[in-house]
Structure 1
Amino acid sequence: MTMGRTVTASIDPVGSATIATDIAIVGGGLAGSLAAAVLARAGHRVALVDKRAVYPDEFRVEKIGGPQLDAFRRLGFIRGLASVACPYDRVLNIREGKVVDVSVGQAYGLPYADLVAMARSQLSDPSSLIVDEVTAISSSDDIQHLELASGRHVTARLVVLATGMAGALGYKLGIRRRLLAAGHSVSFGFTIARSDGAPFDFEALTCYGERTADGVDYLSLFPVRSGMRANLFMFRDPTDPIMRELRRDTEATVLRLLPGLHTYLGDFRVIDRIQNWVMDLSVVEGHLQPGIVLIGDAFQTNCPAAGTGVARLLVDVERLCTEHAPRWLSTPGMSRQKISEFYADRDKLAADQQSLKMARFRQALTSRDDIGWDVRRRLHFLRRSLTHRVDQMRPGWLAQVRSALRA
Structure 2
Amino acid sequence: MFDAIVVGARCAGAPTAMLLARAGHRVLLLDKGAFGSDTLSTHLIHQPGIATLARWNLLDTLRATGCPPLDRVSYEVADIRLEGCARGVEGQRAAYAPRRHVLDAVLVEAAIAAGAEYREKCQVTGLLYDDTGRVVGVEGRHGGQPFSERAHLVVGADGMRSTVAGLVEAPYTVEDPRLTCAYYTYFTGVPATLELHERAGAWVAAVATHDDATLLLAYFPQSRFDEVRADAYGAYLEQIRTTAPGLYERLDGREPVERLRGTGDQRNYFRQASGPGWVLIGDSGHHKDSITARGISDAFIQVESFVKHAGPVLGSNPERLDVALDEFAKDRDNTLTAGYEATLGVAQLEPHEQRLSLLRAVQQDAELTSIYFDTVAGIGSAGALYTPKLLALL
TM-score (structure 1 length as normaliser): 0.78
2:195 aligned residue: 206
Displacement of 1:97 in angstroms is: 8.0
Which one of 88, 94, 115 corresponds to residue 103 of structure 2? Answer: 115
1:29 positional shift: 1.8
3-state secondary structure, aligned to 2:37: coil
The aligned residue for residue 24 of structure 2 is 43
Alignment-mate amino acid for residue 156 of structure 1: A
Indicate how the Cα distance of structure 1 residues 144 and 238 shifts in structure 2: closer, same or farther if over 3 A, else same.
farther
Name structure 2 gaps, 5 residues minimum. Answer: 87-92, 371-383, 388-394
Give the drift of 1:253.
4.3
> CA contact under 8 A between 2:128 and 2:150: conserved in structure 1?
no
- Distance in 2, matches of 1:240 and 1:280, equals 17
Count of aligned pairs: 357
For 1:314, give the aligned amino acid: F
- Residues 147-156 or 24-33, more deviating: 147-156
Cα offset, 1:165, TM superposition: 1.4
The CA deviation at 1:177 is 4.0
Q: Map 1:122-133; keep pairs closer than 5 Å.
A: 122=110, 123-124=112-113, 128-131=117-120, 132-133=122-123
Q: Which residue of 1 aligns with 2:75?
A: 93
**Judging changes above 3 Å, is the alpha-carbon distance between structure 1 residues 338 and 207 closer, same or farther for their aligned structure 2 residues?**
closer
Mean Cα deviation higher: 115-124 or 143-152: 143-152
Against the structure 1 CA distance between its residues 204 and 98, is the aligned structure 2 distance closer, same or farther, given a 3 Å change threshold? Answer: farther
Deviation at residue 143 of structure 1 after TM alignment: 7.0
Q: Which residue matches 1:174?
A: 169
Correspondence for 2:380? none
144, 156, 179: which is aligned to 2:136?
144
Q: C-alpha distance in 1, partners of 2:367/2:154?
A: 52
Of 344, 354, 358, which residue of structure 2 is paired with 1:376?
354
Mean Cα displacement is larger for which, 32-41 or 373-382? Answer: 373-382
- Write out the 4+ residue segments of structure 1 that deviate beyond 6 Å after TM superposition: 389-392
Would you say the 8 A contact 2:42–2:293 is kept in 1?
Answer: no
What residue identity is the alignment partner of 1:377? R
Aligned partner letter, 2:340: L
Q: Determine the structure 1 residue equivalent to 2:54.
A: 73
Conserved? CA contact 2:13–2:29, under 8 Å: yes
- Residue number among 225, 237, 242 corresponding to 2:211 in the alignment: 225
- 2:273 maps to 1:292: no
Tell me the CA shift for residue 169 of structure 1: 3.4
Match of 2:347 among 353, 363, 379: 363
Question: What's the counterpart of residue 313 of structure 2?
Answer: 328
* Match in the other structure for 2:330: 344
Q: For 2:168 and 2:42, locate their aligned partners in 1 and report how far apart those are by CA, in whole Å.
A: 28
1:350-369 deviation per Cα after TM superposition (whole angstroms, max 9, x unaligned) = 332023211222134x22xx
SS of 1:88's equivalent in the other structure is coil
- 1:267, 1:95 → 2: CA distance? 24
Q: Is 1:135 aligned to residue 135 of structure 2?
A: no
2:260 alignment counterpart = 274
Is it true that 1:251 corresponds to 2:229 in the alignment? no
The answer to whether the 8 Å contact 1:217/1:362 transfers is: no
- What's the offset of the Cα at 1:182? 3.3
Partner SS for 1:133: strand
What residue in structure 2 maps to residue 58 of structure 1?
39
Structure 1 residue 330 displacement after superposition: 5.9
> 1:228, CA displacement in angstroms?
1.4
Aligned mates of 1:280, 1:385 — CA distance in 2: 33
Return 122-131 or 20-29, whichever deviates more. Answer: 122-131
CA contact (8 A) 1:209 1:257 kept: yes
State the partner residue of 1:399. none
1:283 aligns with 2:238: no
Flag structure 1 segments of 5+ consecutive residues without an equivalent: 1-19, 368-372, 393-401
TM-aligned CA deviation for residue 249 of structure 1: 6.1
Q: Is the 8 A contact 2:12 2:157 kept in 1?
A: yes
Query: What is the identity, as a one-letter code, of the residue corresponding to 2:165?
Result: G
* CA apart distance, 1:186: 1.6
In the superposition, relative to structure 1, how do residues 117 and 390 fare at CA in structure 2: closer, same or farther (>3 Å)? closer
Letter in structure 2 aligned against 1:71: T
Separation of aligned partners in 1, 2:338 and 2:140: 36
1:128 offset after TM fit, Å?
A: 0.6
Partner Cα separation in structure 2 for residue 102 and residue 181 of structure 1: 33
TM-score, structure 2 normalization? 0.80
Report the equivalent of 2:182. Answer: 187
Whether the aligned pair in 2 keeps the contact of 1:189 and 1:231 (CA below 8 Å) is yes
Which one-letter code corresponds to 2:305 in the other structure? Answer: R
Q: 2:158–2:284: 8 Å Cα contact kept in structure 1?
A: yes
SS of match in other structure, 2:223? coil
Q: 1:26 to 1:262 in 2, by over 3 A?
A: closer
Q: 1:222 to 1:385 in 2, by over 3 A?
A: same
